[in-house]
Structure 1
């Protein structure tokens, strides 16, 4: 079995053989990418970056050397850096492609190979299949020519920092930030970006700040996972922070923590999503486009309609969100990915998101309000939208297909006490065709789909109620959670 392209590239365990991430696989993949670019007449610049995972330095060197030998002008970023820096460099240099060596938030055993095409968006079909065919035509890795490449300087990093530092819209800067990069590569860049934007009161989780491919203090290096932000929230409470920020290991995702009367908590991706959507639309021209995915909350669509904006819904993944349409000013997915500056980075960007969140929180603070207050105001306007996710992790991937088959054979007519309509997107026409089932009622919504990056079946839950009926919404969400959890039975 050979490791195949999935979400915008390769991702898998580091190890020997064609079904794992190793130097031979990277060499042959890069040679295939080079052939594909040549066949399209796309000579020119290719940007290559990396994170600090096991194998990243070797895979980075292999990718740069193969591309240089194939005749491309290779910009090798100078050190382990966040994925958004690579996406920015591809777009700002008008490069024909970009490669980032990263497995994002996957377990420590994994690494990956992410591909950007011209314009800085992630690779999509059918390009991935065409590149796979080109890889299959490459001979033994030892026969692929390689040429050593000198690393680039810090100019592109400085340009990226200047760009994200320009995103704040208010002059307010009185804000205390607690931050963790979860042992990834985002810490130094995030602190530099916040300071460049005027937010100098930043406190970091020391034990998680330096890049460490073992990710020793977290079970999974993903800010979505329960417990991953515990050290961050403890620090935030200790230093009296106004907001807390957790980045995933390659810093393209951003999770936000907030103080509440009951203590600190992390906002869900949908909560941050609607807050940022409202913030960005307030400064956008009428008719601007915002987008999210089929598994995200329905609230952004209602917000867009009320603010005179256009709204698009795509399949999961920023390879689709980045192509949602002309006039895009903001896109997000509930898995903590936010694109707040699509003119510069056509992908999710945790660093830029942290800047925009800090700017919004600082402005609210001048009015003695918080992000929680702003979220409550949206709930008063549009109704309470409570979300949750149930993830069924498996060791045998065949179980995911079995569960989906069982669900399709007995689609429920009722959930949480109300009738629902089922839509099987596997049989849908158009761009939303995918392996997912959507169940919708007047005040409930569930989407069930296999994860594209992890061995999981994911269930995305939403319950809607008038703002004063939190008890009713909570009860419906609890019922949805119980139904989703029971999918793994049998």
Structure 2
């Protein structure tokens, strides 16, 4: 307890934020062991995902001291004279963290450019390359709960950092001393960017292959995030009518008051947008997560019923659409946990295909000629001759989905019809997830060790035809903690620990040939996924 109090007082002495100083002063005065340990017994670790955590005082929380130390570490790795673009969303403290980052970087002799307002993450990713910067920082916690914030770092290629850069920055952060001793704000080294950078981004994504059809009614929600203005501008610039937005969720609000969890994949998050879609008789539903790097898509089923498409369904539709709209030597890519359908589409069209580890930092490095990449967690990057954004882009993806839907509508068809076409051509590829949350992380490590020590011979009545230990770097991929089982009949299961939550995540896929009605194949696939999921629960033993 004495050591915790000592560290807390040292932190308090350098903290520039009156909010966290008041919080920490109270904890020190009460000598609260549990709360002090939660903040000072560990620290947020900087990695390829940057930082993400709950707001509050101490090294295990997101706060101004943590952010300034991180900026100082980044400055040491980059060196004086380098240029960093900084963006931020509308979460609590995001603008303050962005300005603290600028102050530390300029004080260290770097040049910082600050985006003009709270904007989507893809605008920052675009700006890094557009401005020829050496790195970028985005202050965001994406779709995390309201009390969280985060810090993503991009390199000069406009994509998120990968090893060994993350380890270099982490080591540099650890070497930073007191933040109240850092030099701040060197004159003439901060540029406050104007609205022109937004216009440049809109010019880039509206130049994507978007066909000519524009008649489409779209219902939209940014889920209280920063996507609304940019998405509306993109739709109008591309010639679409302005989407009709959920009024209660149109404007940024860091409290996210109408949703339990600001993630389109979470139960209840899409209730208001589907209600608007029914009332307005929309053709399409589009939702962004709070920093607008992800895009969710909903389609009408008839009779006032709507359903949300899976990330794999949208990925397959957009992948084939982009291939059809482009030419030359091209590549499309997805991750080892996404559906295998994109690979079959690529082969049928004579296009190169790449498969990477999870995360857009890997997708963007799949290979030359990349015109489309996606991950099943609603992330897509759509290109033409090249990709305007080297990260997932929920605004550009929304435009491409609207163009695809408008083209289908002009032909008297729908996105569901296009999915049925793919099922008939390539087989019905159905995917689902099983996530097991634990209180003790040792249970996950134990489950992975047990699966490696006791090879699985069958799952759900399907023989395991091949088992890959991804920790061994299978197929040229960097090593990662995961197991992949290829099962009889084209089914597949991938098991890996979550990188951000105390979960073991399992990704399941079955492939069902379509010999009659597609609806019958979907029912069969649903039953097979349910059977495989139950067998997997038993095998995991958690």
Task: Give the TM bin, normalised by the shorter chain.
Answer: over 0.9
TM-score of the superposition, structure 1-length normalised? 0.96
What is the CA deviation profile of residues 233-269 of structure 1, one whole-angstrom value per residue up to 9, with x for unaligned ones?
1211111111101111110000111112362101000
Larger RCO (alpha carbons 8 Å, 6+ apart): 1
Higher helix proportion: 2
Q: Give 3-state SS (helix, strand or coil) of 1:282's partner.
A: helix
2:52·2:151 contact (CA, 8 Å) conserved in 1? yes
Aligned residues: 487
Query: What does 1:448-463 correspond to in 2, within 5 Å?
Result: 448-463=495-510
1:292·1:331 contact (CA, 8 Å) conserved in 2? yes
Corresponding residue number in structure 1 for 2:4? none
User: What is the Cα deviation at residue 452 of structure 1?
Assistant: 2.0
Query: What does 1:130-141 correspond to in 2, within 5 Å?
Result: 130-141=168-179
Quick one: distance in 2 between partners of 1:123 and 1:487?
Answer: 35
Corresponding residue number in structure 1 for 2:334? 292
Match of 1:154 among 156, 175, 195: 195
Quick one: distance in 1 between partners of 2:211 and 2:323?
Answer: 15
Structure 1 position 55 matched with structure 2 position 93 = yes
Structure 1 position 419 matched with structure 2 position 463 = yes
1:84·1:347 contact (CA, 8 Å) conserved in 2? yes
Corresponding residue number in structure 2 for 1:93? 131
Corresponding residue number in structure 2 for 1:25? 66
2:209·2:325 contact (CA, 8 Å) conserved in 1? no
TM-score of the superposition, structure 2-length normalised? 0.87
Corresponding residue number in structure 2 for 1:360? 404
Q: Give 3-state SS (helix, strand or coil) of 1:364's partner.
A: helix
Corresponding residue number in structure 1 for 2:349? 307
1:222·1:248 contact (CA, 8 Å) conserved in 2? yes
Quick one: distance in 2 between partners of 1:184 and 1:391?
Answer: 26
Further displaced range: 142-151 or 112-121: 142-151
Structure 1 position 43 matched with structure 2 position 81 = yes
Structure 1 position 335 matched with structure 2 position 377 = yes
Corresponding residue number in structure 1 for 2:454? 410
Corresponding residue number in structure 2 for 1:120? 158
Q: Give 3-state SS (helix, strand or coil) of 2:192's partner.
A: coil
Match of 1:398 among 431, 438, 442: 442
Q: Give 3-state SS (helix, strand or coil) of 1:12's partner.
A: strand
Structure 1 position 435 matched with structure 2 position 477 = no
Quick one: distance in 2 between partners of 1:466 and 1:186?
Answer: 39
Further displaced range: 318-327 or 412-421: 412-421
What is the CA deviation profile of residues 131-159 of structure 1, one whole-angstrom value per residue up to 9, with x for unaligned ones?
11111121111111111846321110111
What is the CA deviation profile of residues 202-237 of structure 1, one whole-angstrom value per residue up to 9, with x for unaligned ones?
111111111111222222211122221121112111
User: What is the Cα deviation at residue 200 of structure 1?
Assistant: 1.4
Quick one: distance in 2 between partners of 1:466 and 1:53?
Answer: 46
Work out which of the two has the higher radius of gyration on C-alpha atoms and give 1 or 2.
2
1:168·1:197 contact (CA, 8 Å) conserved in 2? no
CA-based RMSD: 1.7
User: What is the Cα deviation at residue 432 of structure 1?
Assistant: 4.1
1:287·1:308 contact (CA, 8 Å) conserved in 2? no
Corresponding residue number in structure 2 for 1:385? 429
User: What is the Cα deviation at residue 485 of structure 1?
Assistant: 4.1
Change (3 A) 1:450 1:174: same
2:112·2:191 contact (CA, 8 Å) conserved in 1? no
Quick one: distance in 2 between partners of 1:103 and 1:17?
Answer: 18
User: What is the Cα deviation at residue 73 of structure 1?
Assistant: 2.0
Quick one: distance in 1 between partners of 2:339 and 2:296?
Answer: 16
Runs of at least 5 residues in structure 1 that lack an aligned partner in the other structure: none
